[in-house]
Amino acid sequence: MALITLLTDSGETDHYAASIKAKILTINAGLHLVDISHRINPCDIGHGAFVLKSVFRDFPKGTVHLVGVDATGQAETMAVALQLEDHFFVGADNGLLGLISDKPHQNIVNINSINPVSTTFPERDIFAPAAAKLASGVAITSLGNPLDTFKKMIGRAVKATKKMINGNVVRVDSYGNLITNITKTDFDILSKGKTFTVQFSGEKFRRIHTGYFQVEQGDCFLLFNSLGLLEIGINNGRASELLGMPHDSTVLITFDE
């Protein structure tokens, strides 16, 4: 069954998400639609990229992902269809798609280049028809003029040496947990045979947990989550508020020789 996922900052109290779906189903009523989220923070490219990067590989290859985040932000921003890691992405070339993968793209086209449409609702009037066609088996190369590249943005990078890993909080999730850009792969390599200290917000910890409830209620836990990223939280509490750590806060791991 052909799949189209939807990720937007449209919210859930207006007609926008339903209109996008209606346009897709009008073109092909047999398509299967899956909502990733319509509650991306308005125009927050970083939030949208984190959510999409975290989940798109869980879907079958060939899935079409319609991305409507900051879709009307800049007049010169192109509407594109992108083939990447054997998935298809339709959205604005505003930098979000450049944050979801480091692998080279397979194809990219300007989907508003053959019969240009002027609209205040590109998610419905431009993205939805292109997504429906891709999911119906139309070749991406037939949807518009080819492009050589697309907009890339640089996310927060971890600084690592043999003695330390310096990372940042890249997402405060809906539970108030702090998700960092420190990967389990890097930690396992650098911590092998060493003791370590994790420091943040004036706190120091020398243990990584494997489950959320290995600490008492109100205590802090540190674990590598299902994304393989270091996560900091408080059992039955909001770590972002109780620790005073917003997005981009620093987390430092030092290793003892």
Mean pLDDT of 212-232: 95
Q: List the one residue out of 184, 192, 182 whose CA is nearest residue 162.
A: 192
Q: Distance between CA 93 and CA 159 in Å, rounded?
A: 28
The segment(s) of the chain belonging to CATH 3.40.50.10790 are 3-146
And the tokens for 204?
A: 């120091």
What pLDDT does residue 1 have? 60
pLDDT of residue 156: 81
Which pLDDT band, with edges at 50, 70 and 90, does 80 fall under?
very high
Q: Please, what CATH class does the domain formed by 159-255 belong to?
A: mainly beta
Phi, psi angles (nearest 5°) of residue 173: -80, 180
Query: What pLDDT, on the 0 to 100 scale, is given for residue 131?
Result: 98
Q: What is the largest CA-CA distance in the chain?
A: 64
Q: How far is CA 175 from CA 10, 167, 183, in A?
A: 21, 21, 20
Q: What confidence tier does 2 reach under pLDDT thresholds 50, 70, 90? A: confident
Specify the CATH number for 3-146; select among 1.20.1260.10, 3.20.20.70, 3.40.50.10790, 3.40.50.300. 3.40.50.10790
Q: Examine the pLDDT at 74 and tell me if it is beyond 90.
A: no
Residue 201 Rama label (left phi>0; alpha psi -120 to 50; beta): left
Q: How confident is the model at residue 212 (pLDDT cuts 50, 70, 90)?
A: confident
Where exactly does CATH 2.40.30.90 map onto the chain? Answer: 159-255
The model's pTM is 0.92
Which among 206, 196, 134, 129 is positioned nearest to 160, based on CA atoms? Answer: 196
% pLDDT > 70, the chain? 100
